[in-house]
Amino acid sequence: MIETRDLTKKYGELYAVDRLTIRLEPGDVYGFIGPNGSGKTTTMRMLATLLNPSWGEASVCGYSIYTGSRDIRRAIGYMPDFFGVYDDMKVVEYLEFFAAAYRIKGPDRRKKCDEVLELVDLGYKRDALVTSLSRGMTQRLGLARVLLHEPQVLLLDEPASGLDPRARIEMRELLKQLRGMKKTIMVSSHILPELADICNKIGIIERGKLLYNGEVSAAIKQVRGNFVFTLSVGLERNPDAAKRIETFDEIESVKLDAEGETMDVKLKDGHEDGSFLPERLIREGFRLKTFREKEVNLENVFMEITKGITN
């Protein structure tokens, strides 16, 4: 659905996007991750045919960004990080205006507007003025607008930017619904928890260069390395338990936290199952209070792969 090969945008001596090569299959939800100024928006604008690349190739839905811009614009829904709204319109009027621009006519226009309003949970605001909407509602209205013509591909640039915690959760749930509709979605963000349980693939970009491109699970495995488990047998007995665990053949290292309340136990290469730890500790007279696998999330991946450099 989306494919780029050495896609590049250069301003003078500055590479905003430097030889980007990615491929998204139908139904993929691709998290495009990077700090502000890393090239995410520039990439999306090129894919949406709103910005010409310096060189390189890209196609969306089989159409080249050089020769098929009209077809691409029919096939995609592009939601920029900031977009204008017409304050003197009602919500339903705003959508009907854009539905008319998409050449949706007659009864189908009102029906389609009602459908997308229900999808984004704004049906109860259909007769409210756009100017009365909160930031979160405005973002959902913008998403409703790009869904009117039933696009195959969605390009969503920082859809959760500036939203309060509740609005971010609502946006995340909405993206899950769109994933269930088998849309191909490219969503950029630097708020990583929003992407963790939505995307099946991620791309990490920094200073215009793609540092990682692939499955989320593979990225986590790459960063995690050996399996680590967090456990506790109580503040007073943790040091004794740590010394005992260090003698186990399967253990790479044991590290108590600063307060001595828990310890991180790292297994050696080739060992993934840590269930033997509570069994042995209980057998030796320790009372287990906490035991869990230490998770690696997208924030850990991002911090491990990037260096904090921006253009």
Residue 294 confidence (pLDDT): 84
pLDDT in tens, 185-241: 999 987 676 677 788 899 999 999 999 999 887 887 777 777 889 999 988 999 999
The pLDDT of residue 34: 87
> 3-state class of 266 per DSSP?
strand
- Give the tokens for residue 280: 């042995």
Q: Who contacts 164 (Cβ-Cβ below 8 Å, separation ≥6)? A: 135, 136
* Unique residue bearing structure tokens 């009372």: 287
pLDDT at 311 over 60: no
Side by side, the strands of the sheet bearing 2-11 are: 14-24, 2-11, 55-60, 63-64
Report pLDDT for 217. Answer: 78
Of 86 and 201, the one with more pLDDT: 201
| pLDDT given at position 308 | 63
pLDDT at 161 over 80: no
Cα 252 from Cα 190, distance rounded (Å): 34
Pairing assessment for the beta strands 228-232 and 209-215 based on DSSP bridges: unpaired
Query: Which is nearest to 50 in space by CA: 186, 155, 162, 175?
Result: 155
Q: Rounded to whole angstroms, how far apart are CA atoms 297 and 22?
A: 22
Q: Answer whether 223's CB lies under 8 Å from 301's CB.
A: yes
Per-residue pLDDT tens for 250-309? 999 999 998 889 999 999 988 889 999 999 999 999 999 999 988 777 777 877 787 765
With a cut of 90, say whether residue 10 has pLDDT above it. Answer: yes
Domains with residue ranges and CATH for the chain: 2-215 (3.40.50.300), 225-298 (3.30.70.100)
Can you point out the beta strands (E) in the chain?
A: 2-11, 14-24, 29-33, 55-60, 63-64, 76-79, 153-157, 184-189, 201-206, 209-215, 228-232, 251-256, 263-267, 290-293
Contact assessment for residue 277 and residue 195, using Cβ atoms and an 8 Å cutoff = no
Cα within 13 Å of Cα(32), Cβ side:
27
Cα(48)–Cα(243) distance, integer angstroms: 58
Average pLDDT over residues 154-176: 85
Predicted confidence at residue 63, as pLDDT, reads: 96
Average confidence (pLDDT) over 61-82? 93
Q: Is residue 73's pLDDT more than 90?
A: yes
pLDDT for the residue numbered 310: 56
Confidence class for position 247, pLDDT limits 50, 70, 90:
very high
Q: State the Cα–Cα distance between residues 294 and 296, nearest whole angstrom.
A: 7
Confidence of residue 129 (pLDDT cuts 50, 70, 90): very high
Residue 117 pLDDT more than 80?
yes
Pairwise CA distance, residues 270 & 283, whole Å: 25
pLDDT for 194 equals: 67
Q: What is the percentage of the chain residues whose pLDDT exceeds 70?
A: 97
Q: How confident is the model at residue 124 (pLDDT cuts 50, 70, 90)?
A: very high
Q: What are the Cα distances from residue 207, in Å, to 17, 213, 310?
A: 8, 15, 5
d(CA 70, CA 58): 15
Provide the pLDDT for residue 49: 96
